[in-house]
Structure 1
């Protein structure tokens, strides 16, 4: 079962990494701003193809070797899981290495051909676009939080029936493999972690809803489609993930009070269904947003370009701009949001909850 789970996750990571250059914002090639007039440059298209083929070929070989090794040896689930996790990080590192290589090549190509110098920089603002924003209202994210608080109260009300050893971790097979002595804190530890995660997602949703909508002067309709699509689908996707995580962790919490819930195939199937649902949701989200600015063709008749803000992007991945009030901005390589690292509020929303979860896990 561990092989099946890690094979699905690893294959998913490989597919997403291969697709990223074709899903990223069309005027951001390997994290470098490229004017609309040059996004179909033959060299840039070659770079994207080389990246996809290289990452795909290496991923195929490594996944094949992993499956061959796992099937040829009589291994424990823990061994398969450990090597599987190493393989997943290896694939991410490999794709990142290729990204950095082609990021540098794209930057050199842009400077060599003086693409930005030949065009006049223009900034576009459309005040009406906010009225078209279809993001979910923030209050819907309170529903899972209320549910978790109720589950926490229910757990304390049934404290006497809880086992003396409280499970704190579950393996790939759905079986608990780590425990803590029974106490009021350990009894609600899982619900506390869930509550922190839900609060973090709520904070991210509010921050992204307040983020600026950046439009392109040379691809106004395409950029509008992407910005509105990113905001709409990311809010729905985050809510879907929150609901899925809430249902999974609530199920695990309830099995401590009602052990019969984990009998039969339930403890095995529920985590697998959760994993597959989240992976499919992630893929749909990435494709929906990634293609949203590729389907609109606009003829750029003037010698203009958008503002070049490469100076604020370190390596095309990390955004530092003190003049931008947005806490989160659209990624340049990939689909979704990244932090404006010059805004300290972003650190509080993302890193503070992670620190709290780590502390709770080790108390």
Structure 2
């Protein structure tokens, strides 16, 4: 019961911290996913919404921290924890969307873009001299994948008829499944998927349309390169850490390594380390590199402001749809991720493939490797 309460409290604290950090770490010219000119980043309407959002998120997190753990203990089921997370996350999204609507309304009332010279910036050197995938960083995850596969092949003949399952944060020795190549080598399949797909993702991100600032084109182009370089290395380092965690989970599932609280903590330390590295990167570099200090000469403004493209963004800057934009991947306004341009037919084709595969998996037509992370 105590473990359920601690898990619930930890997740509430994590969600509250993430919700608080999203607007803090975001780009100043995109408060709550709304494009504003540089002269209005500190507008009273924006400042008021930041304060209101912060107070509401912290108050909501405090109430959830007081009520959710006792409820989870009284009912004694992990389903309560999941319900709390869903409700809290939905409430936080609602607060963010309300702030987005308020800033949008203030922008329209004040006509913030009236009289400005709007433009977009491009860096052609990202095509002629693009950032490269740091392939050498794939050596550690590939080695860990081979080690896990070798140990699994050696242990497979001696495995019992049933295996413990990988569930939650560790190995569930109570819920067992028949020993088959698919169940025994599930961690190896997960490692293989991560090792193959992540470099492809990195290559796509390095070729995606850059997110530059027309007010400071030279400086934003340099900072964006630094951002891409660091992000690609962080993603590939994350694969190595994830593969190490999967190796330790596999050893527990194959009964080579005993399970326990200490082993569980050590198992997830690599993932925690890369998560901490990601947080440090977000604080120091920021989305698209906007938090990096400018070099001499980069502070001079071009006389233009970034084009107001709010009409192409939906759900508070989460979804992008622009038929006139040939880009497939674009940098999301919120959260430091990329999203598909739903105005591009290729994006719809990718979405359809994912939807069909997911539906076939749900219907049992095909079997996808179960997630162990």
TM-score, scaled relative to structure 1: 0.83
SS in 2 for 1:30: helix
**1:289 maps to what in 2?**
285
Give the superposition deviation at 1:251.
1.4
**1:31 maps to what in 2?**
33
SS in 1 for 2:160: coil
Distance 1:293 1:347, change over 3 A: same
Give the superposition deviation at 1:330.
1.8
Q: What is the distance in 1 between the residues matched to 2:333 and 2:138?
A: 27
SS in 1 for 2:176: strand
**1:307 maps to what in 2?**
307
Matched, 1:360 2:368: yes
Q: What is the distance in 1 between the residues matched to 2:66 and 2:278?
A: 24
Q: What is the distance in 2 between the residues matched to 1:6 and 1:240?
A: 29
Q: 1:261 aligns with which of 257, 260, 279?
A: 257
**2:82 maps to what in 1?**
85
**1:320 maps to what in 2?**
321
Q: What is the distance in 2 between the residues matched to 1:91 and 1:147?
A: 37
Distance 1:6 1:205, change over 3 A: farther
Give the superposition deviation at 1:255.
2.9
Give the superposition deviation at 1:325.
4.4
Q: What is the distance in 2 between the residues matched to 1:322 and 1:144?
A: 39
Q: 1:280 aligns with which of 271, 276, 282?
A: 276
> Contact 1:2–1:173 at 8 Å: present in 2 too?
no
SS in 1 for 2:175: strand
* Unaligned residue ranges in structure 1 (runs of 5+): none
> Contact 1:175–1:267 at 8 Å: present in 2 too?
no
Distance 1:156 1:142, change over 3 A: same
Which deviates more from structure 2 when the two are superposed, residues 187-196 or residues 38-47?
Answer: 187-196
> Contact 1:167–1:180 at 8 Å: present in 2 too?
yes
TM-score, scaled relative to structure 2: 0.81
1:100-150, Cα deviation, whole Å (9 max, x unpaired): 112222222222222223212223233346789766524633652464255
SS in 2 for 1:167: strand
Q: What is the distance in 1 between the residues matched to 2:176 and 2:202?
A: 34
Distance 1:176 1:25, change over 3 A: farther
> Contact 2:162–2:176 at 8 Å: present in 1 too?
yes
> Contact 1:133–1:231 at 8 Å: present in 2 too?
no
Give the superposition deviation at 1:218.
1.0
Give the superposition deviation at 1:241.
2.3
Higher relative contact order (CA 8 A, sep 6+): 1
Equivalences for residues 104-183 of structure 1 within 5 A:
104-128=101-125, 136-138=133-135, 140-141=137-138, 143-145=140-142, 147-149=144-146, 151-172=148-169, 174-183=171-180
Q: What is the distance in 2 between the residues matched to 1:300 and 1:221?
A: 10
Q: What is the distance in 1 between the residues matched to 2:85 and 2:9?
A: 10
How well do the aligned residues superpose, as a CA RMSD in angstroms?
A: 3.3
Distance 1:8 1:168, change over 3 A: same
Q: What is the distance in 1 between the residues matched to 2:196 and 2:358?
A: 11
Size of the aligned set, in residue pairs, is 355
Which deviates more from structure 2 when the two are superposed, residues 46-55 or residues 183-192?
Answer: 183-192
Matched, 1:100 2:97: yes
Give the superposition deviation at 1:96.
1.0
Q: What is the distance in 1 between the residues matched to 2:157 and 2:252?
A: 14
Q: 1:43 aligns with which of 34, 42, 45?
A: 45
Q: What is the distance in 2 between the residues matched to 1:58 and 1:148?
A: 42
SS in 2 for 1:203: helix
Q: What is the distance in 1 between the residues matched to 2:12 and 2:267?
A: 17
